Chain A
Amino acid sequence: MRWFWIDRFDAFVRAKSGSAVKNVSLSEDHLHDHFPGYAVMPNSLVVEGMAQTGGLIVADAINFQKRVVLAKVAAAQFHRDAVPGDTILFDATVLDLKPAGSLVHVTTRIADRGGDGEGFPQGEAELFFAHIDPGEGVPLLFEPEQFVRWLTQMKMYDIGVDEQGNRLDPPWGTEAAVSGLALSSGLTGAGATAFK
Chain B
Amino acid sequence: MPSRDEIFEKVKTALVDALGVDEDDVAPSATMVGDLGAESIDFLDIVFRLEKAFGIKIPRGELFPEEVLSSADFVVNGKVNAAGIEALKARMPFVDLAKFEANPMVQNFANTLTVEDMVRYVQMKLAAN
Determine how close the nearest CB of chain B comes to the CB of A113; give it in whole angstroms.
35
* Interface stretch of the complex, out of A14-22, A79-87, A93-101, A143-151: A93-101
Given contacts A74-B17, A75-B17, contact A101 B52 (CB under 8 A): no
List of A residues within 8 angstroms of B44 by Cβ: 71, 100-101, 128, 130
Q: Return the CB mask of A134-177 against B: 1 if under 8 Å, else 0.
A: 00000000000000000000000000000000000000000000
Given contacts A100-B60, A130-B41, contact A74 B20 (CB under 8 A): yes
List of A residues within 8 angstroms of B35 by Cβ: none
B48 in contact (CB, < 8 A): yes
List of B residues within 8 angstroms of A128 by Cβ: 41, 44-45, 48
Interface positions of A from 21 to 78, Cβ below 8 Å from B: 71-72, 74-75
The one of B18, B20, B48 that contacts A101, using a Cβ cutoff of 8 Å: B48
Question: DSSP majority for the B interface?
Answer: helix
In the assembled complex, the Cα of A74 lies from the Cα of B41 at a distance in Å of: 12
List of A residues within 8 angstroms of B60 by Cβ: 100
The one of A75, A98, A100, A103 that contacts B20, using a Cβ cutoff of 8 Å: A75
**A96 & B41 in contact (Cβ 8 Å cutoff):** no
Interface positions of B from 30 to 58, Cβ below 8 Å from A: 41-42, 44-45, 48, 52
Determine how close the nearest CB of chain A comes to the CB of B57; give it in whole angstroms.
10
User: What residues of chain A have their CB less than 8 Å away from a CB belonging to chain B?
Assistant: 71-72, 74-75, 96, 98, 100-101, 103, 126, 128, 130
User: What residues of chain B have their CB less than 8 Å away from a CB belonging to chain A?
Assistant: 17-18, 20, 41-42, 44-45, 48, 52, 60
Q: Which 8 A-B pairs have the closest CB atoms?
A: A71-B41, A128-B45, A101-B44, A96-B48, A72-B41, A103-B48, A100-B44, A72-B45
Name 22 A/B residue pairs within 8 A (Cβ), A-sorted: A71-B41, A71-B44, A71-B45, A72-B41, A72-B42, A72-B45, A74-B20, A74-B45, A75-B17, A75-B20, A96-B48, A96-B52, A98-B48, A100-B44, A100-B60, A101-B48, A103-B45, A103-B48, A126-B17, A128-B41, A128-B44, A128-B48
